[in-house]
């Protein structure tokens, strides 16, 4: 951005310097229509004429060479330095067919250049380069078919051009860079009476200050639509008018404005501030104009928009202005032919919010059409030969459906499931004997179904409830038209009840069905419980605290010999196991909550006394425990002490029946490689817990005592405190370990060997 402003500033200063050397006062030299006369026999005498009659070098020259039938000008014609003083050059009404390159190189002070009314068929893109002081450039009334990019210089140069007139040519194409940001002084552009087919955003590209008004005249072309090949996006305000009167605009479409707004829907402000004058175009007032009506009615542009458009077609709207449709927006419709079924009328009706597909006059349809236009649909198919409604890919687009006066025998729930957007359904005067239950999802006011031979039955008793729920605003005459047939007479649906149809037998059948279903559920649950007995018992304990078939004498709360709920056997040298026990297992077992008990855990790494024999302590504390939890992993199998601990626990539990031995598998290892007995037999024939089991904690609590010892955490702490206190003195004297080191929990934990 900064570099752009720098270029503009330098160019402006350069023009200022060059402009300052140009004369401010000019004298007029009229040689129009005099070529060939004694005073002006040929162009070769032009230099002598100007030299003899223009004495003051401080004055400029307004040179008029029009109407002289000049056919050719060469670069030598204006080669003399005197032409640097020419401020206005009129070459109009001659017979020039081309402008040679470099012809105007010497006109440093030229402000007005008139090349109108010649025979120019093309102009080179750089023929006017260097004419930085030109304010008026006239090319009108020639035979130009194109304005090439660069004809008005480039965007890197700030131009003084304020008037550009190329009207009354045959211009079909305008180069992408003809109108560039450097044209900051433009006041008027006249491109009227040409052959342009489309409108590009030319007026909005020059960086013209808002204080200046630009009149961009495009009258009397053949422009029929707005395009954006320049890829311009509206980012700033525009001041001026763009005159598009007397062109070929016929259809208003909001998408033509969206292309200037990066795809967004245009507002009245967006369209209004483009200052486009669309008067006197042959507008066809159809559905596209509905958007303009809608946005104009809700903005302050309403008054300005009243006469913005005048309709040329269709014939019923000819001569009407936009204001007419403020009160009649529903009349703005578009007839559609693409994908419209044969013998049907298709219309886009934006005010109603749907596309109408009217096949009422077809009379030959036996099913829904195969193809229809896209978008929300009102599908009208009355008075045809339809017997059933089949699946179609567009069913989810149907918002209203009229299939009255056909011969439909069945209307399936599956069909109503697919018409997810349906808001109105007319199925009157068909051959329906019953209605699908899904029709209850509609309000009765949205469904028309009279004139069908409905049969009153116990299966359709729900119709009475549906009618009653929606009968508040229904007239008696309306309710009288909705009947069903029963035992030789017609009943109003609103009067049909269980008693009137004697539907008690059906109630008994329903009760029998319900009981049968409950019996099946009971049988299935019994089979599952037999096959997954253990898991069922775990769930019963987890949810209901019911512990079936557990009569272990060791679980009695008054057994004074059992002071521990669980003794943990593990590989004490495995750091991963110790961390898992400390961070996961102990926190789960020793933490009490409303729904979970807290257990008194004997953890050797925490509670063994260092001064006593490990074997003696193991025997003593296993004897005092109601459960022994062996955490078996690959290192457990290799640790001789762990195997001895397991053997003792297994032998004690089997012989005395004073507790239970639980095995918890930790990590992956090959069970078939286990050779130690009785561990091998135990792993292959018993129910083992597994760390990876998502039911681990449920199963573990099921296996542990139902009534744990009270205050297990405080008791463990007392034992640990007394053990540490008893060995402080002996360890300190024998090993030289300080008291601070012994107080470290990590030291106490890993010091067991």
Nearest partner of 28 among 45, 48, 44, 50, judged by Cα: 50
Say how far apart CA 715 and CA 103 lie, in whole Å: 113
| 3-state SS assignment for residue 419 | coil
- The 3-state secondary structure of 237-276 reads CCCEEEECCCCCCCCCCCHHHHCCCCCCCCCHHHHHCCCE
At 354 the pLDDT is 94
Identify the H or E element spanning 199: strand 198-199
Candidate from 215-224, 233-242, 248-257, 697-706 with smallest mean pLDDT: 697-706
β-pairing, 240-243 with 276-277? parallel
pTM comes to 0.60
Is 77 a residue whose pLDDT tops 80?
Answer: yes
At 303 the pLDDT is 65
Q: In the numeric block, which tokens belong to residue 536?
A: 């069922």
601-602 sheet: strands from edge to edge: 601-602, 566-569, 627-632, 660-665, 689-690
| 3-state SS assignment for residue 216 | strand
**Angle between the 533-544 and 504-531 helix axes, to the nearest 10 degrees?**
110
Q: Could you report the per-residue pLDDT of 190-201, keeping only the tens digit for each? A: 999 999 999 999
CB 53 within 8 A of CB 63: no
User: If you average pLDDT over residues 159-175, what whole number do you get?
Assistant: 95
* High-pLDDT (> 90) share of the chain, %: 37
At 712 the pLDDT is 44
At 302 the pLDDT is 64
β-pairing, 283-284 with 276-277? unpaired
Please measure the distance between the N-terminal and C-terminal CA atoms of the chain and give it in whole angstroms: 78
User: If you average pLDDT over residues 634-660, what whole number do you get?
Assistant: 80
Which of 264-278, 498-512, 598-612 holds the top average pLDDT? 264-278
Nearest partner of 108 among 61, 56, 155, judged by Cα: 61
User: If you average pLDDT over residues 538-549, what whole number do you get?
Assistant: 69
At 17 the pLDDT is 38
At 739 the pLDDT is 36
Say how far apart CA 501 and CA 507 lie, in whole Å: 12
Is 613 a residue whose pLDDT tops 60?
Answer: yes
Q: In the numeric block, which tokens belong to residue 351?
A: 């005010």
Is 112 a residue whose pLDDT tops 60?
Answer: yes
At 685 the pLDDT is 62
At 733 the pLDDT is 37
Say how far apart CA 475 and CA 482 lie, in whole Å: 12
Q: Could you report the per-residue pLDDT of 262-275, keeping only the tens digit for each? A: 999 998 888 888 99
88 DSSP 8-state letter: E
User: If you average pLDDT over residues 170-193, what whole number do you get?
Assistant: 95
User: If you average pLDDT over residues 580-596, what whole number do you get?
Assistant: 81
Candidate from 16-30, 56-70, 190-204, 309-323 with smallest mean pLDDT: 16-30
Tokens 């068909």 found at: 430
Say how far apart CA 221 and CA 246 lie, in whole Å: 7
Give the residue with greater pLDDT, 494 vs 116.
116
Q: In the numeric block, which tokens belong to residue 347?
A: 């219309």
Q: How confident is the model at residue 156 (pLDDT cuts 50, 70, 90)?
A: confident
Tokens 């131009």 found at: 159
Say how far apart CA 699 and CA 692 lie, in whole Å: 12
Average pLDDT score over the chain: 81
Q: How confident is the model at residue 710 (pLDDT cuts 50, 70, 90)?
A: low
Which of 295-299, 301-305, 402-406 holds the top average pLDDT? 402-406
β-pairing, 345-349 with 354-358? antiparallel
Give the residue with greater pLDDT, 493 vs 76.
76
User: If you average pLDDT over residues 604-617, what whole number do you get?
Assistant: 79
Is 66 a residue whose pLDDT tops 60?
Answer: yes
Is 228 a residue whose pLDDT tops 90?
Answer: yes
Nearest partner of 366 among 388, 382, 392, 343, judged by Cα: 388
């Amino acid at each position: 951005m900064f570099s752009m402003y720098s270029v503009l500033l330098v160019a402006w200063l350069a023009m200022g310097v060059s402009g300052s050397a140009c004369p401010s006062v000019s004298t007029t030299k009229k040689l129009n229509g005099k070529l060939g006369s004694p005073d002006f026999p040929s162009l070769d005498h032009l230099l002598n004429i100007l030299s003899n009659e223009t004495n003051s070098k401080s004055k400029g020259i307004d040179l008029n060479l029009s109407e002289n039938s000049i056919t050719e000008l060469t670069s030598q014609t204006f080669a003399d330095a005197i032409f640097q003083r020419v401020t206005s050059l009129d070459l109009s009404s001659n017979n020039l067919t081309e402008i040679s390159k470099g012809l105007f190189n010497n006109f440093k002070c030229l402000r007005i250049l008139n090349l109108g009314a010649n025979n120019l068929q093309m102009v080179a893109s750089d023929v006017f380069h260097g004419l930085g002081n030109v304010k008026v450039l006239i090319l009108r009334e020639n035979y130009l078919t194109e304005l090439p990019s660069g004809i008005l210089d480039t965007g890197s140069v700030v131009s003084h051009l304020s008037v550009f007139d190329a009207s009354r040519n045959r211009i079909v194409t305008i180069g992408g860079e003809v109108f560039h940001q450097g044209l900051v002084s433009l006041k008027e552009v006249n491109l009227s009476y040409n052959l342009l087919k489309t409108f590009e955003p030319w007026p909005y590209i020059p960086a013209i200050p808002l204080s200046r008004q630009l009149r961009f005249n495009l009258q009397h072309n053949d422009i029929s639509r707005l395009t954006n090949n320049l890829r311009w996006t509206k980012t700033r305000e525009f001041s001026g008018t763009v005159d598009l009167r007397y062109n070929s605009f016929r259809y208003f479409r909001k998408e033509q404005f969206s292309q200037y707004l990066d795809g967004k829907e245009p507002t009245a402000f967006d369209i209004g501030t483009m200052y486009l004058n669309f008067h006197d175009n042959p507008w066809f007032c159809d559905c596209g104009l509905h958007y303009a009506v809608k946005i104009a009615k809700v903005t302050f542009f309403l008054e300005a928009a009243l006469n913005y458009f005048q309709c040329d077609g269709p014939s019923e709207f000819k001569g009407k202005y936009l204001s007419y449709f403020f009160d009649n927006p529903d009349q703005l419709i578009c007839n559609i032919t693409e994908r419209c079924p044969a013998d049907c009328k298709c219309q886009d009706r934006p005010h109603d919010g749907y596309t109408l597909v009217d096949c009422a006059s077809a009379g030959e349809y036996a099913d829904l059409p195969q193809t229809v236009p896209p978008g929300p649909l009102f599908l009208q198919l009355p008075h045809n030969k339809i017997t059933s409604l089949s699946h179609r890919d567009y069913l989810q687009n149907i918002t209203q459906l009229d299939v009255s006066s056909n011969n439909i025998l069945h209307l399936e729930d599956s069909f109503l499931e697919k018409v997810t957007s349906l808001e109105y359904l007319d199925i009157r005067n068909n051959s329906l004997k019953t209605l699908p239950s899904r029709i209850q999802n509609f309000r009765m006011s949205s469904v028309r179904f009279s004139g069908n031979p409905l049969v009153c039955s116990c299966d359709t008793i729900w119709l009475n409830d549906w009618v009653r729920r929606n009968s508040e605003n229904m007239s008696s005459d309306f309710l009288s038209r909705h009947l069903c047939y029963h035992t030789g007479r017609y009943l109003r649906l609103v009067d049909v009840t269980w008693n009137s149809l004697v539907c008690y037998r059906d109630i008994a059948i329903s009760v029998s069905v319900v009981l049968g279903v409950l019996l099946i559920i009971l049988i299935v649950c019994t089979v599952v419980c037999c096959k997954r007995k253990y898991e069922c018992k775990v769930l019963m304990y987890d949810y209901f605290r019911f512990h079936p078939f557990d009569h272990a004498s060791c679980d009695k709360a008054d057994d004074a010999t059992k002071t521990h709920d669980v003794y943990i056997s593990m590989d004490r040298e495995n750091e991963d196991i110790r961390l898992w026990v400390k961070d996961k297992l102990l926190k789960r077992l020793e933490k009490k909550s409303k729904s979970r008990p807290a257990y008194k855990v004997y953890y050797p790494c925490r509670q063994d006394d260092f001064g006593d024999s490990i074997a003696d302590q193991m025997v003593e504390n296993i004897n005092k425990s109601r459960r022994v939890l062996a955490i078996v992993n690959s290192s457990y199998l290799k640790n001789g002490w762990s195997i001895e601990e397991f053997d003792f626990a297994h032998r004690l539990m089997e012989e005395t029946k004073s507790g239970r031995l639980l095995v918890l598998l930790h990590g992956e290892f090959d069970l078939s490689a286990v050779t130690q007995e009785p561990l091998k037999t135990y792993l292959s024939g018993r129910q083992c817990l597994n760390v990876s089991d998502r039911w681990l904690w449920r199963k573990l609590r099921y296996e542990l005592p139902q009534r744990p010892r009270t205050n297990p955490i405080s008791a463990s702490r007392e034992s640990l405190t007394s053990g540490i206190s008893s060995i402080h003195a002996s360890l300190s004297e024998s090993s030289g370990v300080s008291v601070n080191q012994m107080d470290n929990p990590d030291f106490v934990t890993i010091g067991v060997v």
